[in-house]
A and B are shown apart, each in its own frame.
Chain A
Amino acid sequence: ILNVEQSPQSLHVQEGDSTNFTCSFPSSNFYALHWYRWETAKSPEALFVMTLNGDEKKKGRISATLNTKEGYSYLYIKGSQPEDSATYLCAPGAGSYQLTFGKGTKLSVIP
C-alpha cells in the first residue's frame, strides 16, 4: 500500500496570489503521477499525468513538476482566481492499475 502525503491540508489565498502544494510518495516502483482538481458537486477533473523524472507540465496558470528519485511533485498556481477554489488530489500509479490518492489540498481563493 502506497503512503501518499499531501501538504498543506488546506490553505486560503487572496485573489492574484501564487501558491504551490506538495505531493510526496514512495519513489520505488513508480510508474506515473496523476493530479486531479475536484470542485464541490462536480467530477474530479484530470489535470496532469507525469511519468519522467524532471517532467514539467503546464495548463494555463497551473503547472506541475516531478522528482521521481526523491518521490515528490509540486503543483503551482500562478495568479490564483476564485474559480481555482477546489481540492487538489495527487495519485501515484504503481503498476497495479489502480490509483492511490492522497488526502488532498483544499484551496480557497478569496476575492
Chain B
Amino acid sequence: DTGVSQNPRHKITKRGQNVTFRCDPISEHNRLYWYRQTLGQGPEFLTYFQNEAQLEKSRLLSDRFSAERPKGSFSTLEIQRTEQGDSAMYLCATLAGWGDTDTQYFGPGTRLTVL
C-alpha cells in the first residue's frame, strides 16, 4: 500500500455516459499526476497539479476530459460522453518533492470499461 487511494477501482459504463474518478493523495504531497494505461502500452501522462493549480495537460487530454484538485487535496478526473476508446486503466500518482529525481507514488488505478 503506497498510501495513495483511488475510487472506484472498477467502472463499467455505456458509451455516452459521464464518469468521475477520485484520487486521494498521500497527505502533504503537493504534486499530483494522472496517467492512463491502455492495453499493451505503458502509462501515459495526462495532466498534473501543483497544489490546486493544474500546470500541464497532455494533448491526450481531449475537451471531454476535465480534472480538478480543489484545495490542493484530493483530485477528480471526469470524462464526459465516454467513448469506447476511453477504456483504460486510469492511474493517479503523487509526490512531495520538486524534481525528476523524486519518487512518484501510485494508486492502484481505476479500470474503466466503456461498452
Contacts and interface: CB of A to CB of B under 8 A. Distances in A.
The yes or no verdict on A and B being binding partners is: yes
A32 B100 contact: yes
B74 interface: no
A103 B40 contact: yes
Contacts of B43: 44, 89, 99, 101
A62 interface: no
Nearest to A6: B42
Contacts of B2: 43, 45
Contacts of B44: 101
Interface stretch (B11-19, B64-72, B79-87, B101-109): B101-109
Contacts of A94: 100
25 contacts: A6-B42, A31-B100, A31-B101, A34-B103, A36-B106, A41-B108, A43-B2, A43-B4, A43-B108, A46-B103, A49-B101, A51-B101, A89-B42, A91-B42, A93-B100, A93-B101, A95-B100, A97-B99, A98-B45, A98-B56, A99-B35, A100-B45, A101-B42, A101-B43, A104-B42
Query: Chain A contact residues (Cβ within 8 angstroms of B): what range?
Result: 20 to 34
Interface of B is mostly: loop
A25 to B, nearest CB: 12
Nearest to B92: A43
A34 B33 CA distance: 15
A43 B107 contact: yes
Interface of A: 4, 6, 31-32, 34, 36, 41-46, 49, 51, 89, 91, 93-104
B63 interface: no
A44 B100 contact: no
B8 to A, nearest CB: 14
A108 B33 CA distance: 29
Nearest to B9: A41
Contacts of A49: 101-103
9 interchain residue pairs of minimum CB distance: A93-B100, A101-B42, A31-B100, A98-B45, A44-B106, A32-B101, A32-B100, A46-B103, A43-B108
